[in-house]
């Protein structure tokens, strides 16, 4: 297996990464800067911490409460205009606080965005006496920000979740003593002791000991890998069977898991094309509108074309007309409706960018283990020989394997218990690394393992019939266990990481939706991968991949097809999930880091929800385009009519607010979406 460090370095260099690292005594954590608008640091410092965390939501709620109280009181309950005005002012303060604390400092830095125009539009509405409309605008705009930022906040925890896999201390051999020392202080060449069941704390080379190591957190391999002196091991992987002495070959800051963390952070910092387009559009649109407002208010009186009162009225009318209320509401309303409908059906979508991007996907990549497959070994074949019954073969094998904690052994024991088999007594367990195990049942020797175990055991020739059975099963991509008792072959048991139920139908539904390629990515060997790919119906397969290989594959696919989704469940998938246009995590079986890193999570661990999510996202994209056409069209019409005076304020407000209602109602259609 290739060491990941050189490939990762090449990946980092080719990506042009420029990281800022927080220096700590533990594993370095990469800092990801937030460029997504409000920084959520505007809450007063004297407030309790729990209130500061919910400050934006509290403000939006108060703005909505004050606005509804003022409008309903004045409209239905005879509330005086002055009292209603107090509520509108309170709604302005609550709804405009977060926007103002962002827009005004940005203005002094020469930055113009939609927040500034919204704030100016609300002030203009107040000057014209349209307090309710201004309060409503601030409330809805703030609500959209709050919903989007809540989802974004969860994604920032991905790097810290990765760090939790890294052991903080290690058992280090110092001469004749074994001392517990911080991993961050270990030097290259130090020897650490890794006990059975412990996570390996360093990237290194096995010095002494033989054991099976679960590398799935790093490589995604479905079966533990036998390790012996000279073999490489990775930090964060799990030692299963026996103690290992491991010589440190990389410092903590340079090990595989730390590099995975950096790759996740780099991928998260990338802005989507939609975000970039919106920023460019806003940067030009906002100052243009503000300049036009000033010119319209000042120029006509100078040349005597109209009085200042009339020109100011038209300028305020222009400001109201140009306020992108429908533009601001149409996409967030569509997003919120789409996210709500997705949540009703067990799909968590973490923001509008991901909802929209998922609808444009043409290529989808899938991790194999735990995503397309169950991630747990199951017996597929029990083939007895020499007049042995299937129950006897399974019972004798389980009697020996119950002494082991190997995943294959556990699958054997579980199957025997489910069938209610009585197990004979087994004595002793001698592990033969990379080959199998030796034991005794009823005082007679028993061998369980690969054909190599029998070939290298004196006085135990390999049976040609058994060899043929094993070759057929392994050609089919299955893992085999050959069993003999007292020099007599009992049979062969085959196991496999079986496909998830209904996954083939799910993949076909994706193809029917217009997805062009379905690509399976796995750390398993090519034979196993190809066999499973045939069963599943994926269009392409890439095997024997490390995390950086998956990341490189995703980047290549993105360059070729423009938009790529990645579905996975493990830490080894994190860089690929973060780098893909849309990262999709399996919920129930997924690790915390995969869920936090991904943009979409299938909460019930049900891949069958993926076609629904894709279909919903495509419907959302259509509605977003429709709403953009309506909102921009209305703004264009109102700009012309406000400057020429063809519409007065009341009609401008009716058309303006009417367009907002239209786009919102159009967006709410998503709540009735069905696959």
The CA distance from 573 to 591, in Å, is 10
Beta strand 488-499 with 479-485: parallel, antiparallel or unpaired?
antiparallel
The CA distance from 312 to 150, in Å, is 40
Q: Report CA-CA distances (Å) from 398 to 372, 387, 388, 439.
A: 28, 19, 15, 12
CB 518 within 8 A of CB 538: yes
Please give the torsion angle defined by the CA atoms of residues 619, 624, 625 and 631, in that order, rounded to the nearest 10 degrees.
150
Q: What are the phi and psi torsion angles at 478 (to 5°)?
A: -105, 155
Positive/negative CA dihedral, 395, 399, 401, 402? positive
The CA distance from 212 to 224, in Å, is 6
| Bridge partners of residue 378, in order along the sequence | 496
Q: Which residue has the tokens 């996954």?
A: 503
DSSP code of 545?
-
The CA distance from 357 to 282, in Å, is 20
Residues designated as active site: 367
Enter the tokens of residue 22: 């927080």
Angle at 498 between CA 493 and CA 502, to 5 degrees: 145
CB within 8 A of 24, min separation 6: which ones?
184
Q: How far is CA 10 from the centre of its chain?
A: 24
Task: Decide: helix, strand or coil at residue 336.
Answer: helix
Q: Which residue has the tokens 């923001």?
A: 351
Beta strand 426-432 with 564-568: parallel, antiparallel or unpaired?
unpaired
433 half-sphere exposure, CB direction, 13 A CA radius: 16
566 half-sphere exposure, CB direction, 13 A CA radius: 32
């Amino acid at each position: 297996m290739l060491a990941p460090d050189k490939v990762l370095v090449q990946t980092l260099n080719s990506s042009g990464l420029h990281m800022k690292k927080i220096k700590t005594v533990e594993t370095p954590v990469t800092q990801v800067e937030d460029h997504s608008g409000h920084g959520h640091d505007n809450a007063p410092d004297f407030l309790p911490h729990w209130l500061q965390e919910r400050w934006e939501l509290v403000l939006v709620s108060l703005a909505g409460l004050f606005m509804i109280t003022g409008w309903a009181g004045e409209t239905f309950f005879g509330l005086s205009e002055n009292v209603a005005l107090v509520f509108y002012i309170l709604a302005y303060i609550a709804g405009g606080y977060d926007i103002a604390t962002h827009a005004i400092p940005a203005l002094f830095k020469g930055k113009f965005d939609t927040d500034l125009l919204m704030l100016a539009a609300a002030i203009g509405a107040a000057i014209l006496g349209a307090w309710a409309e201004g309060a409503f605008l601030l409330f809805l705009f703030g609500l959209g920000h709050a919903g989007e930022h809540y989802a974004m906040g969860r994604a920032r925890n991905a790097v810290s979740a990765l760090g939790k896999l890294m052991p903080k201390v290690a058992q280090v051999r110092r001469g004749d003593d074994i001392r517990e020392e911080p991993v961050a202080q270990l030097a290259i060449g130090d020897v650490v002791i890794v006990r059975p069941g412990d996570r390996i704390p360093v990237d290194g080379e096995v010095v002494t000991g033989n054991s099976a190591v679960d590398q799935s957190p790093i490589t995604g391999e479905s079966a533990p890998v036998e390790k012996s002196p000279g073999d490489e091991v990775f930090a964060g992987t799990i030692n299963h069977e026996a103690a290992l002495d491991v010589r440190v070959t990389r410092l903590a800051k340079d090990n595989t898991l730390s590099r995975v963390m950096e790759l996740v952070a780099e991928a998260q910092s990338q802005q989507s094309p939609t975000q970039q387009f919106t920023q460019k559009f806003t940067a030009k649109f906002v100052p243009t509108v503000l300049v036009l407002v000033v010119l319209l208010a000042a120029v006509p009186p100078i040349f005597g074309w109209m009085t200042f009162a009339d020109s100011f009225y038209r300028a305020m009318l222009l400001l109201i007309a140009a306020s992108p209320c429908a533009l601001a509401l149409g996409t967030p309303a569509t997003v919120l409706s789409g996210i709500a409908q997705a949540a009703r059906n067990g799909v968590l979508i973490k923001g509008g960018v991901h909802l929209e991007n998922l609808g444009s996907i043409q290529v989808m990549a899938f991790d194999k283990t735990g995503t397309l497959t169950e991630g747990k070994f199951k017996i597929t074949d029990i083939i007895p020989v020499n007049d042995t019954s299937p129950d006897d073969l399974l019972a004798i094998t389980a009697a020996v394997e119950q002494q082991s904690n190997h995943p294959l052994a556990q699958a054997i024991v579980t199957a025997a218990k489910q069938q209610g088999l009585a197990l004979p007594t087994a004595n002793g367990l001698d592990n033969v690394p990379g080959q199998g195990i030796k034991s005794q049942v009823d005082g007679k020797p028993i061998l369980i393992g690969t054909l190599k175990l029998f070939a290298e055991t004196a006085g135990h020739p390999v049976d040609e019939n058994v060899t043929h059975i094993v070759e057929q099963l392994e050609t089919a991509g299955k893992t085999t266990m050959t069993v003999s008792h007292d020099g007599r072959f009992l049979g062969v048991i085959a196991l496999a990481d079986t496909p998830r139920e209904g996954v083939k139908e799910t993949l076909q539904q994706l193809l029917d939706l217009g997805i062009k390629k379905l690509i399976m990515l796995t750390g398993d060997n090519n034979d196993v991968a190809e066999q499973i790919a045939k069963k599943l119906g994926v269009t392409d397969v890439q095997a024997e991949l490390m995390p950086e290989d998956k990341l490189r594959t995703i980047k290549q696919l993105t360059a070729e097809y423009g938009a790529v989704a990645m579905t996975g469940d493990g830490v080894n998938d994190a860089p690929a999930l973060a780098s893909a246009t849309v990262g999709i995590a399996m919920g129930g079986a997924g690790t915390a880091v995969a869920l936090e890193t991904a943009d979409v999570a299938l909460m019930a661990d049900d891949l069958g929800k993926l076609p629904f999510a894709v279909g919903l996202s495509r419907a959302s994209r259509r509605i977003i385009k429709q709403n953009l056409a309506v909102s921009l069209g209305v703004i264009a019409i109102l700009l012309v009519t406000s400057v020429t005076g063809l519409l007065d304020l009341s009609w401008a407000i009716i058309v303006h607010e009417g367009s907002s209602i239209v786009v919102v109602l159009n967006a709410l259609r998503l709540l009735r979406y069905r696959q």
